[in-house]
Structure 1
């Protein structure tokens, strides 16, 4: 007698999204220097046919001064926390869209993480794909 197949949490998540009829989920990645381009990409992905995509993207730009991250020590801890949060967004997503014509270390790590999960990765500027 064989054991039933083991279903991973990632497979359970994908199955739940399918059963719930979720639209595709797109995680936008890229340097926060491209926040305006990310907002445009979010608009286009949300509008996309046939029924739009759910979009998740960075919610904080630590390069722009703000009272929440004015203390350098707190800002560094926040960056670590935001990086972990963004990896969760990538895990939740069906695909990743990398915005911008520059890939830094953080974005390169996000691309590698997405690909390690088998997520498709698209680029607004395909020439910057580190694996191209």
Structure 2
């Protein structure tokens, strides 16, 4: 099943790549290829749709991807809250 078809709308291709990336994660693999970027794009789109952001950061830990998403949310003016104290 090809992930790219010129007749398939871009949103559908994004969903297919995202599903493939989640399958890779479930198998203990880090997403690679187009699916990895699809996850990042999906998360940023969710931030665009949100009124505010709640960062779930047990023990104050914030990973690299979450840091990028926090920076994006901050740049778009979204209010950001954390479940645990953080330096962000």
TM range (shorter): 0.5 to 0.7
Distance 1:111 1:62, change over 3 A: farther
Match of 2:12 in 1: none
Q: TM-score, normalised by structure 1?
A: 0.43
Aligned pairs for 1:54-93 (under 5 A) are 60=22, 63-65=25-27, 75-77=31-33, 78-93=35-50
Cα 1:129–1:98 change in 2 (3 A) is farther
Once residues 90 and 62 of structure 1 are traced to their aligned partners in structure 2, the CA distance between those partners, rounded to angstroms, is 23
More RCO (CA 8 Å, sep 6+): 1
Alpha-carbon RMSD: 2.2
2:78 is the alignment partner of 1:110: no
Distance in 1 between residues matched to 2:23 and 2:80, nearest whole Å: 22
Judging changes above 3 Å, is the alpha-carbon distance between structure 1 residues 62 and 112 closer, same or farther for their aligned structure 2 residues? farther
**Higher radius of gyration, 1 or 2:** 1
Unpaired runs of 5+ residues, structure 2, are 1-21
1:128 aligned to 2:86? yes
Q: Which runs of 4+ in 1 moved over 6 A?
A: none
Q: If the length of structure 2 is used for normalisation, what is the TM-score?
A: 0.61
Contact preservation (8 Å) 1:123, 1:129: no
- Inter-partner Cα distance in structure 2 for 1:79 and 1:98: 21
Instruction: Please give the residue correspondences for 1:3-82 in structure 2 after superposition, counting only pairs within 5 Å.
Output: 60=22, 63-65=25-27, 75-77=31-33, 78-82=35-39
